[in-house]
């Protein structure tokens, strides 16, 4: 049995209602966080587009990577990526999905009831899914599906978030009163490291509404 204690370093939050999609984005952090393995850029949670009985959880970290930087970027063995799930509406996690990198593989634990709530986490038991991290040079993503129906991917991806920084500055300074369509993607050409999980809704113990937030933690 594996048991590791982790201490929180950074978090982001999102709310999911029914089968819709919500996200939380946080690009351009303070210097103390930016570029570190704990730096969260986005959280996406949505119903699977190919199977209505499944949900997709996506955690993106280490944003604004250039193609050159992506070649050497990697997940950190001392960093835990943790989805926290509240399915009772009290804003306290009832379930967690914990993602731990080691020796070229991403190990997925849960979803299960956490040993404790808040800013510390403990990893216990055996991994629910394991996937090789897809290298930047790969021609196709490495994806695996475990016996309990969890499909997993981990590796670099083009940053999916769209933000027109130039138009935003004009609007907030009063130089313009609206955004153009489609605008200019200021994040074009940059990458993130992603963990993407598709899992059966039955594993979430939900009655139709869940709150989801994302933490990254460093080993204590």
> Mapping DSSP to helix (H, G, I), strand (E, B) and coil, where does residue 159 land?
coil
- Tokens for 114? 């956490």
Sheet-wide strand order for 105-112: 120-123, 4-17, 209-219, 79-86, 95-102, 105-112, 129-132
Q: Please answer whether residues 106 and 154 qualify as being in contact, where contact means their C-beta atoms are separated by less than 8 angstroms.
A: yes
Q: What are phi and psi of 70, to 5 degrees?
A: -65, -30
Tens-digit pLDDT string for the chain (220 aa): 334 444 443 444 444 434 444 545 566 655 555 567 888 999 999 999 999 999 999 999 998 899 999 999 999 999 999 999 999 889 999 999 999 999 999 999 999 999 989 888 999 999 999 999 999 999 999 999 999 999 999 999 998 877 788 888 899 899 989 988 888 877 788 899 999 999 999 999 887 789 999 999 988 7
Which residue, chain included where needed, has tokens 């731990």? 100
Q: Please answer whether residues 100 and 209 qualify as being in contact, where contact means their C-beta atoms are separated by less than 8 angstroms.
A: no
Q: Strand pairing partners for 214?
A: 12, 83
- Tokens for 20? 């819709």
| pTM (predicted TM-score) | 0.84
Classify strands 120-123 and 4-17 as parallel, antiparallel or unpaired: antiparallel
Helix, strand, coil content of the chain in percent (nearest 5): 10, 45, 45
């Amino acid at each position: 049995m594996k048991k590791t204690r982790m201490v929180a370093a950074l978090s982001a939050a999102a709310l999911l209602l029914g089968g819709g999609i919500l996200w939380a984005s946080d690009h351009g952090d303070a210097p103390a966080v930016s570029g570190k393995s704990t730096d969260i850029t986005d959280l996406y949670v949505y119903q699977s587009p190919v199977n209505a009985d499944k949900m997709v959880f996506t955690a993106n970290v280490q944003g604004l990577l250039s193609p050159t930087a992506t070649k050497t970027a990697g997940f950190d063995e001392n960093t835990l990526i943790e989805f926290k799930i509240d399915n009772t509406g009290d804003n306290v996690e009832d379930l967690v999905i914990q993602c731990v990198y080691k020796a070229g593989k991403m190990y997925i634990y849960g979803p299960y009831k956490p040993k404790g709530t808040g800013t510390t986490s403990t990893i216990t038991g055996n991994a629910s899914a394991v996937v090789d991290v897809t290298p930047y040079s790969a021609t196709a993503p490495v994806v695996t599906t475990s016996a309990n129906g969890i499909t997993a991917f981990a590796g670099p991806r083009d940053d999916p978030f769209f933000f027109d920084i130039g138009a935003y500055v004009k609007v907030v300074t009063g130089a313009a009163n609206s955004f153009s369509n489609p605008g200019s993607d200021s994040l074009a050409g940059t990458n993130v490291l992603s963990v993407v999980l598709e899992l059966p809704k039955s594993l979430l113990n939900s009655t139709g509404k869940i709150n989801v937030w994302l933490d990254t933690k460093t080993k204590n």
